[in-house]
């Protein structure tokens, strides 16, 4: 007799158009990840009636079916066997899914892929900066004194931690160059060299560029009569990404035409030299302007509009998640963190954390409202907890969007919490899990207000979801 996992696998295959409609498949801890030839063949109503299926959503070209921990691997084993489907890794499935994206989606995915490998370095640097802030903050533990002032013997330790915390941000272009070259198909170490060239100590430090412009003291090279600003790109993100893209393009073309005997000499030489020239002549100045505009737009939203700006960002973020456009925010966030010493921190992290907690609170409220629908109750409880930890897709696509009213409530509740956080000037010092546990990424003097912001978000969203469920969503309670 067919066991429940094989039965579930066969039912899923029937609902998605059979094994012949599957381009690639993989699974993560809780979900089947599928790339399908024709998504119009999906029988959504029948899929949602399968006992072990807890929800589904489409994200980044992948159709994902939520089964749960301990179940998905067993169902997947039967799925590939019954459907005669080729097994792939998650990365290979992502590559297949990317082929179905439009140019804008591909661009945003590429930007996100560049930053994902370097996130641990930014998280470590940010958290070390938080530790340094605890040690050196005036009045946190003693009136008008820091821990270093009170205990001078730890001053050298604090200095060492401060140096370690700055390293990731100081050499960020090198890290980005290495990562971007891997994504663009170039030699990673040459990408790192381009990043290093852009922050070479012989250049005017990028952080001093604005004042040098005002003072008229910007240094220049004069190359064949052409003045080229001798300025570094510290605290920037886009210039190194575009420069390394050009370097990778040049390198790949050269490797096709340069004789093998000369390839290891000519290709790196020409790739680095031409890219460096293009960087200082065109790419750097243009992309610095674009990057500064992005950063200024975010700063204007939060520091000029204040709570209204936080409200707008908090309401907009979940809408961007639905379309996958939220990946575009990674670039601006990283550039803000790269300038953390001058800006003090990023205001966007707490807003995203509030938006995510709102989705979790809405899902948990749905769990309270559902009386007879055991499947929806189970899905709502699991996805709600997941959202509090920063993973919102199951809550958004599996529960809130499906019922609509919880999603509307989450937009309102998340916006309220984000507005409060912005009003209280809550800032983060690193990237990390955008949920309740994200408190570890917040500046020490802002941690309490971060927790207050998320609690306000959760309470408001829960109450609004219950009210909506009793009114506009009452027909869906079963």
Number of neighbouring beta carbons within 10 Å of residue 68: 18
The bridge status of strand 226-229 relative to strand 62-66 is unpaired
Question: How far is Cα 402 from Cα 223, in angstroms, rounded to an integer?
Answer: 62
Q: How large is the average pLDDT for residues 6-27?
A: 86
| pLDDT higher than 60, residue 477 | no
The helix (H) or strand (E) run that includes residue 36 is strand 31-36
pLDDT band at 463 (very low <50, low <70, confident <90, very high): very high
Task: Supply 2's token pair.
Answer: 């067919």
pLDDT in tens, 212-266: 888 888 899 988 888 888 998 887 888 999 999 999 999 999 999 999 899 989 9
Contact indicator for 353, 315 with CB cutoff of 8 Å: no
pLDDT band at 89 (very low <50, low <70, confident <90, very high): low
Q: Enumerate residues 6+ apart whose C-beta is below 8 A from 408.
A: 468
How many helices (H) and strands (E) the chain has is answered by: 23, 6
Q: Does the annotation count 246 as an active-site position?
A: no
The SS3 assignment for 1 reads coil
Can you give the pTM of this predicted structure? Answer: 0.72
Question: How far is Cα 173 from Cα 115, in angstroms, rounded to an integer?
Answer: 11
Nearest residue to 423 (alpha-carbon basis) of 345, 316, 310, 340: 310
- Long-range Cβ contact pairs of 160-166 (< 8 A, separation 24 or more): 161/128, 161/131, 161/132, 161/135, 162/129, 162/132, 162/136, 164/125, 164/128, 165/125, 165/126, 165/128, 165/129, 165/131, 165/132, 166/125, 166/129, 166/341
Largest alpha-carbon pair distance within the chain?
Answer: 84
Which residue of the set 28, 246, 434, 446 is catalytic? 28
pLDDT band at 455 (very low <50, low <70, confident <90, very high): very high
pLDDT in tens, 37-87: 888 888 888 888 888 887 777 776 788 888 877 788 888 888 888 888 766
> DSSP secondary structure string, 65-77?
EE--TTTHHHHHH
Q: What are phi and psi of 444, to 5 degrees?
A: -50, -40
Q: What percent of the chain has pLDDT over 90?
A: 28
pLDDT band at 95 (very low <50, low <70, confident <90, very high): low
The helix (H) or strand (E) run that includes residue 221 is strand 220-223
pLDDT in tens, 365-392: 988 877 667 777 777 887 888 888 887 8
pLDDT in tens, 425-445: 998 887 777 888 888 788 888
The bridge status of strand 62-66 relative to strand 31-36 is antiparallel
| pLDDT higher than 60, residue 1 | no
Average pLDDT in the chain: 84
pLDDT at 346: 84
């Amino acid at each position: 007799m067919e066991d429940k996992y094989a039965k579930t696998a066969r039912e899923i295959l029937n609902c998605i158009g059979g094994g012949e409609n599957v381009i690639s498949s993989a699974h993560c801890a809780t979900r089947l990840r599928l790339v399908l030839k024709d998504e119009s063949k999906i029988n959504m109503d029948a899929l949602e009636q399968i006992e072990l299926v807890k929800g589904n959503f489409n994200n980044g070209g992948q159709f994902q079916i939520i089964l749960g921990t301990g179940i998905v691997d067993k169902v997947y084993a039967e799925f590939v066997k019954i459907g005669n489907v080729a097994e792939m890794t998650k990365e290979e499935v992502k590559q297949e899914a990317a082929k179905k994206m439009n140019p804008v989606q591909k661009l945003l995915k590429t930007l996100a892929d560049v930053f994902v490998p370097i996130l641990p370095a930014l998280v470590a640097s940010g958290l070390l900066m938080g530790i340094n802030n605890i040690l050196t903050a005036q009045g946190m533990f003693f009136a008008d004194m820091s821990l270093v002032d009170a205990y001078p013997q730890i001053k050298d330790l604090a200095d060492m931690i401060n140096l370690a915390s700055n390293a990731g941000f100081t050499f960020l272009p090198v890290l980005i160059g290495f990562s971007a070259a891997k994504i663009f198909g170039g030699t990673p170490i040459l990408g790192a060299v381009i990043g290093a060239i852009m922050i070479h100590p012989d250049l005017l430090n990028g952080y001093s560029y604005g004042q040098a412009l005002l003072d008229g003291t910007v240094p220049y090279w004069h190359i064949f009569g052409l003045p080229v600003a001798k300025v570094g790109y510290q605290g920037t993100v886009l210039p190194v990404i575009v420069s390394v893209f050009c370097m990778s393009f040049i390198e790949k073309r050269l490797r096709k035409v340069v004789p093998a005997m000369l390839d290891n000499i000519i290709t790196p030489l020409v790739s680095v030299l031409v890219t460096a020239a293009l960087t200082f002549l065109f790419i750097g100045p243009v992309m610095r302007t674009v990057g500064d505009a992005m950063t200024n737009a975010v700063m204007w939203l939060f520091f000029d509009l204040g709570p209204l700006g936080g409200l707008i960002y908090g309401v907009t973020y979940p809408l961007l998640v639905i379309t996958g456009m939220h990946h575009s925010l990674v670039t601006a966030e990283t550039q803000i963190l790269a300038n953390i010493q001058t800006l003090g921190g990023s205001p966007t992290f707490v807003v995203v954390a509030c938006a995510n907690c709102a989705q979790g609170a809405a899902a948990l409220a749905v769990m309270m409202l559902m009386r007879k629908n055991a499947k929806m109750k189970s899905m709502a409880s699991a996805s709600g907890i997941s959202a509090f930890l920063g993973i919102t897709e199951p809550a958004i696509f599996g529960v809130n969007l499906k019922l609509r009213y919880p999603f509307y409530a989450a937009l309102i509740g998340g916006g309220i919490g984000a507005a409060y956080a912005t009003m209280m000037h809550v800032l983060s010092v690193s990237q990390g899990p955008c949920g309740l546990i994200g408190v570890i990424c917040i500046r020490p003097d802002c941690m309490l207000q971060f927790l207050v912001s998320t609690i306000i978000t959760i309470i408001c969203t829960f109450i609004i979801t219950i009210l909506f469920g009793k009114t506009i969503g009452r027909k869906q309670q079963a």
